[in-house]
Amino acid sequence: MKYLNSSNFPSASQEEQQQLVESLKTVLTTDYQGSFFKLFGDYKKILSDNNRKDEWDDINNKLTTLLKCGTSTPIDGPMIGVSVSIRDFDYFKQTAKLFGHNRSAVANIEWMATLWNNTFGNTGIWMGKTFEPVDKDIAAQKCHDNPLFMARYNPETTRIGRNFFRDPLSPDFIQLAGIPVLTSLWQLKDRPLSTDAQGFDSVLLEKNLALEKHIPYSKTGGYFLAETGASVAAEMKGKTVYQLNYRWAGLNPAYPMTRLIDELVQVDEGIYLGQLVMATKHYSLGTTTFSLLGEEITQSLGEEYNPVPDEHKGGLTGLLTELQHLWSHAHDTHDYGYQNNGFFLMIDPRFAKQAYADDAFPQLKPAPNEVGYLELGYDKQPSAPDIHVIDPNEWVFGWKKNPDLAKKFTTFCTEPSPRADDSDVHELLQAGESILQMLQRIQTTINAQTKYDDHLKHFEKLNRLFRSGVAPSVKNGLFQGCGKGYNTRYNGLEDRQWYGQNEPLVGFDYYHGATLNLHWGFGDNFRPEINESVASNLLFPAAIASLFKDGIQEPAVLNQVWQTIGRFIFPWAGKSFEHISGRKLSMLLDESDDLRSRYPERTNELHSHLASWPHYDLVLKNEQHYWSEESLFAAHLNSGAWDNGMTDTDKDFWNNEADSKWIFGNNTQDARILTADAFFRMLDMNYHTPEQPLLDLANAAPSPFVRQGYSFLGVADQESIMPMNNGTDKKKRVFQFHYRYPMIGGAAPIGTCLDELVEIAKGLYLGQLIYATELFTPFHSSVNPEAYKYQIFGYFLLLDNDWECHRQAIKLDTVK
């Protein structure tokens, strides 16, 4: 390799040198397959995937090896930029080393990397840099004539540079703010289109502007001075690198650039590997300007960057010199506590097509409306469709041209409502719209009606739809709807365990989720009391009494918060279902008085998760015989737990229940949850990363999920617990989601939830979000549900892949 050699690193010993030789050999023989574009593309895929966090350390170590072995080469002109990884600061690094670790446990949480991956990691918001000639006087002005830098000034290699920024394509709520915020904080300018462009301290050259046309960017800024020098990162041991310093006060850096130095080496023709190095001590948070006695004064918020050679500070320089350095914020390299903060690439734009290739960094490829698309000839190449991109022309109205979709999207699954006063729901569907578009129209109307009057009477169209929907069933232990009756079916994971025994995954199915409208159900507890009070109290004037009888009006705060904020940040993606064994079902429905001795491992988990304390409290109350009546399933649990004493007859009962009525379920979460991944692992004892085959299934779908949690038991053919769903002589049959049994162990407040579901079209389910409002009445299956004062808190949807494509296209409860 021309540019990679272990001799490029100043190893302190022969042993260290040999280790570096072996590490480089491993990378080149194992990962390198003839193209560094592909190698770095593969590395970025891993480092951008929060599900593969356990592989990050290994990849970062390999990048460190390549950086150590690379050749220091000055750079001239524009470069395509690739953000490869971000790393957290490690303020406990020295302590970790005492215990034989390179990084502390706190740093290994990698909050910054997780957040970056969830927001801007693959958007290409940062697109590169340019390195332009700079006059010596300008360089001196920018570094305040610092002798350390000016001694290295060389007109052939010293450059002033700036970064390129691009508006993300199809931005979400957070990404949309990216460029406007950066423009304000970093004073970004429009990209220069000619050498006559004003406001740039560098020398704009025609040849550089021509090469920039291979890079899609719109804004530029974030200045640095670049020159060859010794690495400031301690682990690089003074290795020669091409150094990009943002910290000079004359560059007017905004935080966090006041802490940043980039270091680059060449690893292949046209490819440069860089590391971000951040100061962890003695840095500025930026500057503030204020007026004093009529004069504008600019003051640094913190210590202004002022490096001095090590020998100027560490030798016998005298007390006066030491005080002078202290007053001037002078520090040598070691004082700044520099740490690696991630890796990036610089790629010569002459290699743009290799950089934008599908096996490298296709997310950076110019779009049809961007600079670079025509210049690189992409307009003459047919583009392959991305299965994750939904074509609005196909899914908004194009479904009408597909006979199967047209029938599916306009045909209800209904049964007679238990209420005789309900009219036919088919009349709700207008000509030319799908059932989902009808629901979107109803949602908009409810939003308007409940803005200042949060009352369930405005939900009546959804109420009618629910009462006319068909409850899904369980057949052979699997969730089953109308028609085909499932979204996907997967069997596998033969070695999967459930508390000491193999329980392979059978019949895995999942549906995407969407929220329609929310309602503050607690308010419904007070309305009957108010009406009764008004009816019996003759002291109210008639006008006031009429107002009370019509109901006190209050705004739909919960619904408005969801519509304006919640849906953008709450990561709920839907629900998954799978077959449950009789053994597992018997444990999760058990309310015996000896749960801690029957299931010590499970109850210990309950006890160790603070948010599961209501469920653990139920365990203790069962021990204390808090309820006088036996639980609903006590007759089939009194003989003992499945693994300890249960009779064959009782086991047959549980197997039959599992095959005919029950399924095990999880709520699924999308990638937005990963910023709080560690928090949710502590919060929810059932929260986990799905196995890789399930992630593969999710990634092939329109809206992938990355986590599962908030587990529940689903049960078919139940009477609705909500009086509004039932008629005088007939009860509504529904599918219920139970979160309340103690051994399920969901985090509060999900433990007060008992949702109900019906199917209103093939693959489209309407659900009622139901919570107990009598919060201090502990749950037991022997208690009449009326005691818990269940109320509806809103409606949600579950959708198969076809409906989800349609939902994303019409933007029903989406984040974009």
Domain coordinates in residue numbering, the chain: 73-280+339-375, 285-336, 396-520+556-591+666-772+786-810, 526-552
Q: Please name the residues in contact with 663: beta carbons below 8 A apart, sequence gap of 6 or more.
A: 474, 477, 478, 479, 577, 578, 579, 580, 713, 714, 715
More confident residue, 793 or 648: 648
Q: Please name the residues in contact with 271: beta carbons below 8 A apart, sequence gap of 6 or more.
A: 36, 37, 40, 345, 346, 347, 348, 351
Whether the ω angle into residue 614 lies within 30 degrees of 0, i.e. cis, is: no
Which tokens in the block code for residue 84? 């490869």
Is the model's pLDDT at 324 over the cut of 50? Answer: no
Q: Please name the residues in contact with 305: beta carbons below 8 A apart, sequence gap of 6 or more.
A: 247, 248, 249, 258, 283, 284, 329
- pLDDT value of position 553: 54
Q: Give dist(CA 9, CA 263) in Å, integer.
A: 14
Share of the chain above pLDDT 90, in %: 58
Backbone φ, ψ for residue 146 (5° rounding): -65, 125
Q: Give dist(CA 97, CA 103) in Å, integer.
A: 7
- pLDDT value of position 106: 63
- 3-class secondary-structure state, position 674: helix
Q: Which residue has tokens 């590997």?
A: 273
* Residue-wise pLDDT tens digits, 81-128: 999 998 876 665 666 565 566 666 666 667 777 777 777 777 779 999
Which tokens in the block code for residue 273? 């590997």
- pLDDT value of position 97: 62
Q: Which residue has tokens 């003759």?
A: 538
Q: Please name the residues in contact with 253: beta carbons below 8 A apart, sequence gap of 6 or more.
A: 222, 223, 246, 247, 260, 286
What is the helix (H) or strand (E) element at residue 679, kind and residue range?
helix 677-683
Q: Give dist(CA 189, CA 179) in Å, integer.
A: 11
Reduced to 3 DSSP states, what percent helix, strand and coil does the chain have, rounded to the nearest 5?
40, 25, 40
Query: What sign does the CA torsion over 85, 90, 93, 99 have?
Result: negative
Which tokens in the block code for residue 332? 């040598």
Q: Give dist(CA 811, CA 514) in Å, integer.
A: 11
Q: Give dist(CA 666, CA 676) in Å, integer.
A: 18
- pLDDT value of position 467: 95
Q: Give dist(CA 402, CA 801) in Å, integer.
A: 16
Is the model's pLDDT at 299 over the cut of 80? Answer: no
Q: Which residue has tokens 């592989």?
A: 55
Which tokens in the block code for residue 607? 């006890």
Residue whose C-alpha is closest to residue 366's, from 127, 45, 122: 127
Q: Which residue has tokens 């607690």?
A: 522
Is the model's pLDDT at 552 over the cut of 80? Answer: no
- pLDDT value of position 680: 84
Residue whose C-alpha is closest to residue 138's, from 203, 220, 228: 203
- pLDDT value of position 325: 47
CA distances from 787 to 104, 778, 783 (A): 51, 10, 7
Q: Give dist(CA 536, CA 313) in Å, integer.
A: 88
Share of the chain above pLDDT 70, in %: 84
Q: Given pLDDT bands bounded at 50, 70 and 90, which one contains residue 319?
A: very low
Range in 147-151, 179-183, 290-294 with the lowest mean pLDDT: 290-294
Is the model's pLDDT at 369 over the cut of 90? Answer: no
Q: What is the mean pLDDT of residues 696-703?
A: 88
Residue whose C-alpha is closest to residue 433's, from 417, 420, 423, 444: 444
Which tokens in the block code for residue 692? 């890789």
Backbone φ, ψ for residue 618 (5° rounding): -65, -35
Q: Please name the residues in contact with 632: beta carbons below 8 A apart, sequence gap of 6 or more.
A: 589, 591, 781, 782
More confident residue, 506 or 294: 506
Is the model's pLDDT at 601 over the cut of 70? Answer: yes
- pLDDT value of position 541: 40
State the burial class of residue 629 (Cβ atoms within 10 Å of its Cβ: 0-12, 13-18, 19+): exposed
Q: Given pLDDT bands bounded at 50, 70 and 90, which one contains residue 700?
A: confident
* Residue-wise pLDDT tens digits, 21-40: 999 999 999 899 889 999 99
- pLDDT value of position 130: 96
- pLDDT value of position 546: 40
Q: What is the mean pLDDT of residues 520-539?
A: 46
CA distances from 756 to 62, 192, 665, 707, 781 (A): 51, 59, 14, 23, 17
Residues constituting the chain: 816
- pLDDT value of position 394: 76
DSSP calls for 82-115 = EEEEE----TTHHHHHHTT-SS-TTGGG-HHHHH
Q: Given pLDDT bands bounded at 50, 70 and 90, which one contains residue 646?
A: very high
Mean pLDDT of the chain: 85
- 3-class secondary-structure state, position 634: helix
Q: What is the mean pLDDT of residues 689-711?
A: 91
Is the model's pLDDT at 562 over the cut of 60? Answer: no
* Residue-wise pLDDT tens digits, 713-765: 999 999 999 999 999 899 999 999 999 999 998 877 777 889 999 999 999 99
Is the model's pLDDT at 295 over the cut of 80? Answer: no
- pLDDT value of position 87: 86
Cβ distance 450 to 480 under 8 Å? no
Is the model's pLDDT at 326 over the cut of 80? Answer: no
**Interhelix angle 403-410/801-810, nearest 10 degrees:** 80
Cβ distance 472 to 800 under 8 Å? no
- pLDDT value of position 673: 87
Is the model's pLDDT at 708 over the cut of 80? Answer: yes
Cβ distance 737 to 755 under 8 Å? yes
* Residue-wise pLDDT tens digits, 775-790: 889 999 999 999 999 9
Residue whose C-alpha is closest to residue 765's, from 490, 574, 521, 488: 574
More confident residue, 405 or 520: 405
Cβ distance 449 to 519 under 8 Å? no
Is the model's pLDDT at 565 over the cut of 50? Answer: no
Is the model's pLDDT at 135 over the cut of 70? Answer: yes
Q: Which residue has tokens 């199915």?
A: 509
Range in 3-12, 110-119, 272-281, 371-380 with the lowest mean pLDDT: 110-119
Cβ distance 762 to 408 under 8 Å? yes
Residue whose C-alpha is closest to residue 528's, from 510, 545, 551, 506: 551
CA distances from 366 to 36, 123, 210 (A): 21, 12, 16
What is the helix (H) or strand (E) element at residue 796, kind and residue range?
strand 790-799
Is the model's pLDDT at 662 over the cut of 80? Answer: yes
- pLDDT value of position 98: 58
DSSP state of 540: S
Q: What is the mean pLDDT of residues 186-192?
A: 91
Q: What is the mean pLDDT of residues 155-180?
A: 85
Q: Give dist(CA 278, CA 107) in Å, integer.
A: 14
- pLDDT value of position 506: 93
